[in-house]
Structure 1
């Protein structure tokens, strides 16, 4: 995308709510609480909101229903759903709308009560008539196919996938909001019950409740608000398919397009990134995204994560809240990568804080490795 308004808009509020289990609350309730908290974080109120970006899991017209729930009458509502990448796409369009003067204060929110409401992952995808006869268990089967192909093509080993889960648990141990904080070893991951070969139970994301919200405005207005502004330097999305059987290459995702586009807008390279938040629905995801975003060459993702490289004290801090594997995964995880990026860049992450973090990349995945979206954020000094 050309003409992206680099550093002209900023995230000024961020919050989570109901992480893990929130019995008795609907998905809308959870998103509402996160929204109010994010606005309070920014020093704003519901009366300031004139743009609403929302993708509730069971509400096809959530742009309308959530506005009514909040008691607001926004000029813009957006209900794009591309799976977990929806929220990075929302950031992209919110930045464009703010820069164009179509709105002044945009809220991006999500909530889900999947754990206490249903006890399992709820997918919006209808069975595909061409894939369904083969009995592929989704979504895990799609990611297992990608993992198996990566192993076949590049020699990636189960132990390397396990390193991703172990690193996530290491970060989660430092995060009091994380759902799972107990110690985890590579052997634990490898010995866990198989779900869809080559992926076992601990290669798969959590099923939790949870909500998140962020608030965006123009940079000139952001300077007058409560929190340090976090500049949006770049944002891009790309899509290659929907069903996994139509993916052009099981080992290369559309992150190979969205990542370089967002980084070019931002004027950075992977070497400039201090913290990296990746959508880790399964352990193969970060390996694919590290390659496609340019942090290592194609086929080298498995070796890249060895030796605790993405764990606490490693060379590249990845998923510093514990990710979808150990922190939270209420159906769609993408917005949580944005909140964690903001917390890190503000220096408010407590025991898991990455010292001197100034540039963050938040990358999310939707569908069956189908939609990829990347956002580059920075402190005001680094912008």
Structure 2
């Protein structure tokens, strides 16, 4: 399968975020358009150069049509794939294949949400899923609590291990001016925080923020001539194993095991080669599960891995170096922000810039651990 993916032949040429935190007075589409404008400008292009739109909005099932209309474009191709926070990694895979085939020349991938300003909440009652609804779980929180509880039962993972994820995220956020949640956070703060769905407490949950993000992709040979350093896409893969977690044969294992292995095979790399990982941390258990399933540590050892300080500033595997969904931002879906942080690290312009980053992984999660998607980004030196 690695032979069929255009390794390094397409690249991120421009990127931007906008309105991270609180941005009252903006609709979701207005936020998205602002980020898109900044990303196109960052690439040294104009909207006239864009012939494909990829978008997944939280409040518009016809966002592909609305986005084209809002920007005044008549794109040759639109993609409104909705798999939740993993959608944007899948958008990159689709865009890469279309660019390589010559079907399109310039793709704009964008997202925005005014979730915080619009009074959005992190959890709602499930009423539509016939498997889950009779038990009145909170969506999506209860599903992640089930995964965390089972991981604790099977592997001895402790609440202190979950807290280590939140503490690492906050440590990164504290030196990122864009991060929404900054300030002191202690282990005691995490352990004493209000329980929502055992063993998930407030400090185990992502933020609810506004914010928008966008990236511009084109063929790498063209990106070389544009103003910003190209960030080639080396591999991208997605995998979906279920929708409702009630259908999961093992809630401690996710489809990241499949998407990660395939993406790394396409890129010709192993977990040992990855210098930084940006993981979709909607809940603290996510980071532990994905570190295991992506191959950074054996199954069951994720708790000890994070508690040893491995993912925090100064650790051997910097994870969510912007603060992640737990402390930087989470405007409904976080996937595109993870991609942008990975690309910023490679371009050498992240707020918490790491030295000499040539290879970064970004991983997205959608639904209730349902859809997983992984991208491997590199510098031009990796080609």
5+ residue gaps, structure 2 = none
Specify the SS of the correspondent of 1:150: helix
Cα deviation, residue 123, structure 1 = 7.1
CA RMSD for the aligned pairs? 1.2
Say if 1:358 and 1:151 are closer, same or farther in 2 by CA, change over 3 A: same
1:10 counterpart = 2:44: no
Q: Tell me if structure 1 keeps the 8 A contact 2:125–2:137.
A: no
Structure 1 residue 168, shift from structure 2 partner: 0.2
Equivalent pair of 1:150/1:251 in contact (CA under 8 Å): yes
- 1:189: how far off? 0.6
Separation of aligned partners in 1, 2:363 and 2:138: 25
Please show how residues 46-61 of structure 1 align to structure 2 within 5 Å. 46-61=47-62
Counterpart residue number, 1:364: 364
| Equivalent-residue separation in structure 2 for 1:222 and 1:122 (angstroms) | 41
Output aligned runs, 1:329-368, within 5 Å. 329-350=330-351, 352-368=352-368
Any conservation in 2 of the 1:240–1:248 contact (CA below 8 Å)?
A: no
In 2, distance between residues paired with 1:5 and 1:129? 41
Does structure 1 conserve the Cα–Cα contact (< 8 Å) formed by 2:180 and 2:327? yes
Q: Is the 8 A contact 2:126 2:139 kept in 1?
A: no
Q: For 1:101-143, what per-residue CA distance to the aligned partner results, in whole angstroms no more than 9, with x for missing partners?
A: 0110000000000000123237797621221111211111000
Deviations 1:238-264 (A, max 9, x none): 000001101121000000000000000
Q: Tell me the alpha carbon deviations over residues 332-371 of structure 1, each in whole angstroms, 9 at most, x when there is no partner.
A: 0000000101111011014x11111110000010000000
Aligned residues of 1:17 and 1:210 also touching (Cα < 8 A): yes
The answer for the alignment partner of 1:215 in structure 2 is 216
| Further displaced range: 184-193 or 22-31 | 184-193
Q: Could you tell me how far apart the structure 1 residues matched to 2:152 and 2:54 are?
A: 38
> What is the 5 A alignment of 1:108-123?
108-121=109-122
Q: 1:129 to 1:363 in 2, by over 3 A?
A: same
Q: Partners of 1:295 and 1:36 in 2: how far apart?
A: 36
Alignment of 1:1-383 (within 5 A): 1-2=1-2, 3-121=4-122, 127-350=128-351, 352-383=352-383
- SS where residue 381 of structure 1 aligns? helix
Partner Cα separation in structure 2 for residue 215 and residue 23 of structure 1: 26
2:126–2:137 contact (8 Å) kept in structure 1: no
CA–CA distance in structure 2, aligned partners of residues 347 and 186 of structure 1: 32
* Structure 2 Cα separation of the partners of residues 300 and 356 of structure 1: 28
Give the structure-2-normalised TM-score. 0.98
Moved more, 124-133 or 180-189: 124-133
For residues 229 and 200 of structure 1, what CA distance do their matches in structure 2 show?
40
After the TM superposition, list the runs of 4 or more consecutive aligned residues in structure 1 that deviate by more than 4 angstroms. Answer: 122-126
Pick closer, same or farther for the CA change 1:125–1:272 going to 2, 3 Å: farther
Normalising to structure 1: TM-score of the pair?
0.98
Query: Aligned partners of 2:58 and 2:127: how far apart in 1?
Result: 14
What secondary structure does 1:374 align onto? Answer: strand
Deviation track 1:43-81 (CA, whole Å, cap 9, x = no partner) reads: 011111000000011111111110010011110100000
Report the CA distance between 1:187 and its aligned residue: 1.4
**Is the alpha carbon distance of 1:373 and 1:125 closer, same or farther for their aligned partners in structure 2, counting shifts above 3 Å?**
farther
Gaps in structure 1 of 5+ consecutive residues: none
Q: Deviations over 1:172-218 (max 9, x none)?
A: 01100000111211111111000110010010000000000000000
